[in-house]
Structure 1
Amino acid sequence: MQIDFKNLNMNQLPSETEFEKKTKVFLEEWFSDKKTVPVQTSGSTGTPKIFEIEKDKMIASAEMTCNFLGLKKGDTALLCLPVEYISGKMMIVRSVVKNLTLIITNPSTRPLQNVDNEIDFCAMTPLQVENSLEQLHWIKNIIIGGAAVSESLKNKIFNTLGSKGSQRIFETYGMSETLSHIALKQIYPVSEMFFTAFENVEISTDERGCLKIYAPHLNEEILQTNDLVEIKNNNQFRFLGRTDNVINSGGAKIFPEQLEALVKKEVPNEAVFLGIDDESLGQKLILILEGHKSQEIIDKIEKISFEKSFHRPKEIIFIEKIPRTPNGKVNRIELKKYIAEQYNN
């Protein structure tokens, strides 16, 4: 399915697949007289919920991203994310705002497998990028969201595209409440450490060191996150980890995201650090790896120089598949439940 928003005719839009039907339903909502559209949160850090978002704020968000990337009328975009969530909805809104030609493919872990011509813009999850490395050269501008981009994936991108490719690839920072992302960090061909916030987005931290966001054109309220960050200047910051995920082991606070980034530099597997209830430590630090048990991988992890001795996992567990939310994020809640059940059995 392909939609040319320069010459849109809703009556001629096909809706054969379930995803095409959902896309058409969203477009009907978008062009209706209602001032808001419903959006579902991912549920990666809590119970999924649905809330209404004002269309004019979605337009403001779309313009920020499109202007940053230099997208223009007639450019092509690929939609390969679920339209229930803000990530998929915003791809459609960006196409509407800039009169792009939107190519629609059913969301899957291999969204580029049938792509054989150049596309100007696409938003993908890290897992989708991981499974599409050989086709990335078709996409001029890629934004990656839904989860952090691992060092392992960054290396694979460089190894596949070379160090002087013409594509641009960015990692995003945002959430449903910020209408997709409010900051981008280039990871290819330049590899940046800090996210850069868009214009008219003010950032600060609370007493915990967690990010506060004020972007009145997107949300009237100051958004308080549970994301620990390091702010470099007025519009740049580095993500350190989520306070929700903090592991308290023997009185030491451990941010799993930092350890996961370190491990993923050495091994290709998806890696998740968890704290499991322990009588003496409070929480015992364990490492979950996706895939079959491998002594070679265990040996690589044992050679890693962790900053602190208590950062080294007390146990390494391999499981066939780490649970994820429908939009590709690791579902830590479900994973913790699964591991707790294994411990209790």
Structure 2
Amino acid sequence: MLLDFNDLEINNLHAETYFEKKVIFFLEQWFSDPKTVKVQTSGSTGVPKIIEVEKEKMLNSAKMTCNFLDLKEGDTALICLPIEYISGKMMVVRAITRKLKLIISDPSLKPLENLNENIDFCAMTPLQVENSLDKIHFIKNLIIGGAAVSESLKKKIAQTLLPSNSLTQIYETYGMSETLSHIALKKTYPTQDEYFNVFDGIEISTDERNCLRISAPQLNSEILQTNDLVEIREGNQFKFLGRIDNVINSGGAKIFPEQLEALVKKEIPNEVIFLGIKDESLGQKLILIIEGFESENLKSQISNLKFEKSFHKPKEIIFVDKIPRTPNGKVSRIELKKLISI
């Protein structure tokens, strides 16, 4: 289904799939009288919940993204993210705001399977990108959210796009339901930036823990305090170091698992997660979870890695068939801890 928001008659829309019906239902909600809509949070860092969001603030967020990417009326976008979450809803709102043409593709691991034309804008999860590498050259502006873009995926993207001389621009997003999708983007291709660039109208700072604090009055009337450890540069750029609630305290040393995961993913293709589990002598023992079949070769590669500190090397490596994820593709560390403790 293609929706042209320059000339849209909701009453004339006929859905063929369940996802198309859900998109149309959201449009009916959007153009109804209430000034708010309900949004499901992902539950990746806590208990999933339903929040009420002002439509006006969603429009403000949509304008920020459209302005940053220089999207114009009549450009084509593709939605392939669940409409229950802010990520999917905001794709529709951006199309409404900038009068885009919106292609509706059922959320799946291969959402671009039937795409054979150039489009201007798309948002995907890392898993979707991983399974759509043969088609991403069709996208002019691709934003990737829901989870960090791994080093191995960055390599695959470059290997795919460089030979094709593609003009594709790819960004990693930073945001959450409370910021109505992202408030900052970081270029991943054709260059790789270390720092996120914050949108105009948003101010950032840190608390005494060096965790990010966000002031975005156009998106949320409250100052948002995160548990994300960051390094701020020039007032409007920041580097994500890791979540403070993921920090592992092993033998008195603080370990940031996200940084170790980035290092390991440069060398092996599997999904990997570092966790701290209770240990009598260390307080927390550093372990590495690898998704996939047990492999002596992978164990050897990990053993030969040059970690910055000796205590960064995992005390134990555990293989699992599948790392638990939330419905929108984020790794659920909470469920993973439960899984390995069974």
What range is the shorter-chain TM-score in? over 0.9
Cα distance, 1:156 vs. partner?
A: 0.7
The 8 Å contact of residues 165 and 189 in structure 1, kept in 2 or not, is answered as no
Q: Find the counterpart in structure 2 of residue 171 from structure 1.
A: 172
Cα distance, 1:252 vs. partner?
A: 1.5
Structure 1 counterpart of 2:328, which letter? N
Cα distance, 1:13 vs. partner?
A: 1.2
Cα distance, 1:254 vs. partner?
A: 1.1
Structure 2 counterparts to residues 29-108 of structure 1, below 5 A:
29-108=29-108
Structure 2 counterpart of 1:76, which letter? T
Structure 1 counterpart of 2:111, which letter? P
Structure 1 counterpart of 2:13, which letter? L
| Whole-Å separation in 2 of the counterparts to 1:336 and 1:215 | 34
The answer to whether residue 340 in structure 2 is matched with residue 339 in structure 1 is yes
* Secondary structure of 2:249's aligned partner: strand
Structure 2 counterparts to residues 142-161 of structure 1, below 5 A:
142-161=142-161
The 8 Å contact of residues 274 and 285 in structure 1, kept in 2 or not, is answered as yes
Cα distance, 1:288 vs. partner?
A: 0.5
| Whole-Å separation in 2 of the counterparts to 1:14 and 1:150 | 39
Q: Find the counterpart in structure 2 of residue 7 from structure 1.
A: 7
The answer to whether residue 251 in structure 2 is matched with residue 243 in structure 1 is no
* Secondary structure of 1:91's aligned partner: helix
Q: Find the counterpart in structure 2 of residue 26 from structure 1.
A: 26
Q: Find the counterpart in structure 2 of residue 212 from structure 1.
A: 213
Q: Find the counterpart in structure 1 of residue 109 from structure 2.
A: 109
| Whole-Å separation in 2 of the counterparts to 1:260 and 1:112 | 28
Cα distance, 1:220 vs. partner?
A: 1.2
Q: Find the counterpart in structure 2 of residue 330 from structure 1.
A: 331
Cα distance, 1:246 vs. partner?
A: 1.1
Unaligned runs of 5+ in 2: none
Could you give the per-residue CA deviations for residues 278-314 of structure 1, whole angstroms, max 9, x where no partner exists? 1221211110111111222111111111111111101
Structure 1 counterpart of 2:59, which letter? I
| Whole-Å separation in 2 of the counterparts to 1:14 and 1:303 | 57
The 8 Å contact of residues 276 and 340 in structure 1, kept in 2 or not, is answered as no
| Whole-Å separation in 2 of the counterparts to 1:127 and 1:4 | 28
* Secondary structure of 2:78's aligned partner: strand
Structure 1 counterpart of 2:157, which letter? I
| Whole-Å separation in 2 of the counterparts to 1:9 and 1:285 | 56
| Whole-Å separation in 2 of the counterparts to 1:329 and 1:201 | 25
TM-score (norm 2): 0.98
Unaligned runs of 5+ in 1: none
Q: Find the counterpart in structure 1 of residue 259 from structure 2.
A: 258
Structure 2 counterparts to residues 266-285 of structure 1, below 5 A:
266-285=267-286
| Whole-Å separation in 2 of the counterparts to 1:191 and 1:277 | 37
| Whole-Å separation in 2 of the counterparts to 1:176 and 1:63 | 17
Q: Find the counterpart in structure 2 of residue 301 from structure 1.
A: 302
Identity %: 69
The count of aligned residue pairs is: 341
Could you give the per-residue CA deviations for residues 16-58 of structure 1, whole angstroms, max 9, x where no partner exists? 3221111111111100011000011000111001110001100
